[in-house]
Structure 1
């Protein structure tokens, strides 16, 4: 047990980082009600959390190199626990965003890079492969427990208790953080590149902001946008500005490196094929997972009318199979290389998404839905069992913190883009299909079409059909037109859900192209990868 004590503490922290994200996803409807807001606002809060992590993850890894990984792990936990406490008592949506999205996000940005480096530094060869399988399995366990426990607590008590309990867990982890060994890095102490940190954070923020707001601003034709650029919606210009800032960030880093100063990111690391492929696959994995975990609860809660606990029960198969597949990764590694396992995971993932696409229907088929969710978790678990080890095993000990920062930056950027992009496609498809349906329905009068068109231009929301019915009746439409509008909206709901899920399938297919450079030797065997 002695050599695995550190893994218990590190694994608990990993479990905690995943838990509250899944709680938030399953509690979307209750959060909308509690804060008297819309789904898009909660989408923004969830996206901001992962964006803060993505923006500051590399900086967090560098701080671990400067002040010690164990120390930054502990400091990050204190910040994270503070954010959890603020979230538990948040009276308004803005306080929720500050506590959960910003403070917890900053805490996680300190914890996770240190965690990845500490796991890699504490274990070698096959033990390291086992350790990353356990870490991936505990991430799966967080996804498993989050919807179920969070759903039960949200339905029968309050979601706030989950975050209050997190504070207790953080305190317990801090009491045993001394079990983790930390090895000081040789050589002079590194310095933080403040300009690089600011440029990377700003660039990532602009890209994700543009994607997130595309559903309300529009991509080209402006809708509900605060300003226009040459008569066009600002979306693509904001994304392009983010790309320019990231280009400046790259130039600045190369400039610092050429002058012998410590860069925030050494872009030479991207010349390692296995690292590059591993990071790309981590981004794709989280884009798909968080995109689907935003869409599926909407189908279960808004369309099917299930509460948070019932939603958690329906999501249990994906969580359970992800846990099992993640834990079995090291066993698979004995007979197949990471490239083979990841490709198998992508194949299972694609099949499960197409299966889910066929299951989305006005009437919920519990058996088919549960089986498709189980297959989804199996595919995700196979990816999770390999990618962390691929990234860390492709670099040397001195580069572990930086690789850990890149690893979790890729994961959280994928999570941000998943929630923003898939959510944006969902709302955009909802508006487009609803407009088309009411335009083609002869039972709807021109006056009703014009009124609906004005509402859609102002920004359509993913709400229940009962809310649409109430709004139509309040507008004074006759019963036949009310029924026609509600039917059109119900069809638009299902079509938009399918469009969002189909986009996830497209990302899965694209991801296959980036597996070529993954190693195909059995990681974890003596001598594989840098020490």
Structure 2
């Protein structure tokens, strides 16, 4: 690649967008103490950051067309920097919520679709494949390095410095954004308000329902919300089900609205015929699975390292860091392989490696950390995700012409959020459900007296929470157990955590295997095939929504 400044600017913005959430996840306890708030309030802030992006991503992509992609990128970067500064200076959780969950989220919905579209504007051929691979590597590196950066800053300085650094980076992005070419420019168009409302409400309902499933349960209510002393579970069904059904109905209405607008000759918010393109459908589905697996992995590994083994945030980040190294290296390797292998082969090799990596981690998860096997498993997982990242962006964006790249960029943002929410929800539900079952079985077969088993069973009949294993003896002593019984209960709980983690890793393997089926529509031609050598199905060839693509 000769045009490095552009990808450096776009990659820096992408890194900051993804880094934000991972840093906050490992800093929760410190932020709670600093702002004199609660874990529930912080979890709400994290959730609403995701919801803001999910709700308005399609609008952000449309505004990129209306204003011009570079202008939308610059405006979004400024808004994001304002949100980061507000978060860094926040005196209480309300200001943090405003700065992080709302203002930063609004900036992100303009920046993320613009990044994908501007790469298509500034790069062609193999350079475009490399650019999307770098963006994918930046995302993965931010996910993996976030706990390390957040752990270091929180432990030795302050979590606020992370957001100050984001302001500085985004200021540099805005300053050098003039180096970015915007071939399409502004295309003034009317935005249908009803479409925005339907898409925003539908995606919020679906994403929020998924995120709450680990607490509320999917169908059978576990811990539904309580309003006025009454549990909210209509007809005995979890609110998660109702939220997802309501969201699905709103999305269906949104699709119907887009068809009506197109038939009436008015510009829709999203061109629904894009989903007729097999390559794009497959690419978006693989993207969703990729982010689901990434989110699931980053949900369960901190649980193992922090809750079971008792490592702090910095130590957790160090153990996870091999994933970042593997992801960056294999993102680069993936772009080289694209000269020899088809995108489908590279993606499927990555999916198979992810299954292998999950198997390594399955064997490494124990009460005593098997450092070598765990490190190898994390590196292999990073390698797999790097191979996927090196191809998916280009597969999706090359499915359409440059005039529709903003729309596809917005769809990528939506599918990323849905995938992350689904991965966290699925793996979280599996983990918590398996923990409850394993703990109940472990207590029943333990050396604890029957009366003690009855006390424990009564205390956990509403479910088993994920807490540090080292805190169980203190909780047990407060419940009236003696020291020997408390030690036995700690052993049972720690082993139950290990068993539930293994079950969750098996679920991750199932998702990775299922994603192999979704990749059947990925292009099979080697990148760079000359015209006339076969069907025009090259990785860089724009595809039209015709019968041949469907």
TM-score range, shorter chain: over 0.9
Tell me if the contact between 1:80 and 1:106 (Cα under 8 Å) persists in the aligned partners. yes
Tell me if the contact between 2:69 and 2:185 (Cα under 8 Å) persists in the aligned partners. no
Count of aligned positions = 529
Tell me if the contact between 1:444 and 1:484 (Cα under 8 Å) persists in the aligned partners. no
1:95-132 Cα distance to aligned partner (Å, 9 max, x none): 44443233222211110101110110111122212222
State the match for 1:483 in structure 2: 487
Using a 3 Å threshold, how does the CA distance of structure 1 residues 38 and 328 change in structure 2: closer, same or farther? farther
State the match for 2:497 in structure 1: 493
Provide the rounded CA distance (Å) in 1 between the counterparts of 2:215 and 2:8.
Answer: 44
Provide the rounded CA distance (Å) in 1 between the counterparts of 2:503 and 2:489.
Answer: 21
1:405 is aligned to 2:410: yes
1:157-215 Cα distance to aligned partner (Å, 9 max, x none): 222211111011111111111111112359x6322222122212222222222222223
State the match for 1:346 in structure 2: 351
User: Bigger shift: 33-42 or 444-453?
Assistant: 33-42
Please, what is the CA RMSD of the aligned residues? 2.4
User: Bigger shift: 72-81 or 519-528?
Assistant: 519-528
1:523 is aligned to 2:522: no
Deviation (angstroms), 1:59: 1.2
State the match for 1:242 in structure 2: 247
Provide the rounded CA distance (Å) in 2 between the counterparts of 1:51 and 1:500.
Answer: 25
State the match for 2:385 in structure 1: 380
Provide the rounded CA distance (Å) in 2 between the counterparts of 1:285 and 1:238.
Answer: 24
Provide the rounded CA distance (Å) in 2 between the counterparts of 1:42 and 1:430.
Answer: 24
Provide the rounded CA distance (Å) in 1 between the counterparts of 2:193 and 2:383.
Answer: 41
2:8 counterpart SS class: helix
Deviation (angstroms), 1:435: 3.0
Tell me if the contact between 1:207 and 1:238 (Cα under 8 Å) persists in the aligned partners. yes
2:298 counterpart SS class: helix
Tell me if the contact between 1:83 and 1:103 (Cα under 8 Å) persists in the aligned partners. yes
Provide the rounded CA distance (Å) in 2 between the counterparts of 1:140 and 1:358.
Answer: 24
- Output aligned runs, 1:71-150, within 5 Å: 71-150=71-150
Using a 3 Å threshold, how does the CA distance of structure 1 residues 89 and 501 change in structure 2: closer, same or farther? farther
State the match for 2:61 in structure 1: 61
Deviation (angstroms), 1:229: 1.0
1:257-300 Cα distance to aligned partner (Å, 9 max, x none): 11111111111000111111110011110111112112111211
User: Bigger shift: 159-168 or 387-396?
Assistant: 159-168
Using a 3 Å threshold, how does the CA distance of structure 1 residues 235 and 247 change in structure 2: closer, same or farther? same
1:504 is aligned to 2:508: yes
Structure with bigger RCO (C-alpha 8 Å, 6+ apart): 1
Using a 3 Å threshold, how does the CA distance of structure 1 residues 526 and 7 change in structure 2: closer, same or farther? farther
Ranges in structure 2 where 5+ consecutive residues have no aligned partner: 226-231, 532-537, 544-550
State the match for 1:212 in structure 2: 211
Tell me if the contact between 2:444 and 2:453 (Cα under 8 Å) persists in the aligned partners. no
2:197 counterpart SS class: helix
Tell me if the contact between 1:25 and 1:294 (Cα under 8 Å) persists in the aligned partners. no
User: Bigger shift: 379-388 or 350-359?
Assistant: 350-359
Q: TM-score, normalised by structure 1?
A: 0.93
Tell me if the contact between 1:139 and 1:323 (Cα under 8 Å) persists in the aligned partners. no
- Output aligned runs, 1:291-370, within 5 Å: 291-370=296-375
Using a 3 Å threshold, how does the CA distance of structure 1 residues 223 and 147 change in structure 2: closer, same or farther? closer
1:277 is aligned to 2:276: no
Deviation (angstroms), 1:483: 2.6
Deviation (angstroms), 1:442: 5.4
1:431 is aligned to 2:432: no
Using a 3 Å threshold, how does the CA distance of structure 1 residues 46 and 507 change in structure 2: closer, same or farther? farther
Deviation (angstroms), 1:90: 3.7
Tell me if the contact between 2:354 and 2:381 (Cα under 8 Å) persists in the aligned partners. yes
Using a 3 Å threshold, how does the CA distance of structure 1 residues 372 and 32 change in structure 2: closer, same or farther? farther
Deviation (angstroms), 1:85: 1.8
Provide the rounded CA distance (Å) in 1 between the counterparts of 2:487 and 2:43.
Answer: 29
State the match for 1:201 in structure 2: 200
1:49-70 Cα distance to aligned partner (Å, 9 max, x none): 3333233221111000011111
- Output aligned runs, 1:258-277, within 5 Å: 258-277=263-282
Q: TM-score, normalised by structure 2?
A: 0.90
Tell me if the contact between 1:125 and 1:525 (Cα under 8 Å) persists in the aligned partners. no
Tell me if the contact between 1:346 and 1:508 (Cα under 8 Å) persists in the aligned partners. yes
2:418 counterpart SS class: helix
Ranges in structure 1 where 5+ consecutive residues have no aligned partner: none
User: Bigger shift: 196-205 or 327-336?
Assistant: 196-205
1:230 counterpart SS class: helix
Using a 3 Å threshold, how does the CA distance of structure 1 residues 91 and 485 change in structure 2: closer, same or farther? farther
User: Bigger shift: 374-383 or 351-360?
Assistant: 351-360
